[in-house]
Amino acid sequence: QVQLVESGGGLVQAGGSLRLSCAASGRTFSMYAMGWFRQAPGKEREFVAGSSAIGSGTAYADSVEGRFTISRDNAKNTLYLQMNSLESEDTAVYYCAARSRSYVIGRFSDEYDYWGQGTQVTVSS
């Protein structure tokens, strides 16, 4: 069992930056593949970025590639998402998720077992 708590969301102007954090409980954080997802009003939850449990593998959605960076600090049980050059289309609730059944990054919501409560990111144009 793992609990996830996101923080760092807020209101930012287009072109600005935010860094999201996801604090995880438990001693096995390093064994979980982790992901960031987002959900905008009226839209499906979508994959944003992922971090594998083995090595330093990462993956990104095409829409954020080159603007967002996912990272993790296993000593601190914390996952991060650095978001630069934010656009109004990035406005959404952002969730972090942990995948216990595989070390590999998943791109679909149902591949993840644990979810945080979400943090709102609003980008004004």
- Burial code of 96-116, b = ≥16 C-beta within 10 A, e = fewer? bbbbeeeeebbeebebbebbb
| Confidence class for position 37, pLDDT limits 50, 70, 90 | very high
Q: CA 48, CA 36: separation in Å to the nearest integer?
A: 5
| Confidence class for position 4, pLDDT limits 50, 70, 90 | very high
pLDDT value at 101 more than 90: no
Q: CA 26, CA 77: separation in Å to the nearest integer?
A: 8
- 23-32, 57-66, 73-82: least confidently modelled range: 23-32
Q: CA 112, CA 103: separation in Å to the nearest integer?
A: 11
What's the pLDDT at 32?
94
pLDDT value at 27 more than 80: no
What's the pLDDT at 55?
79
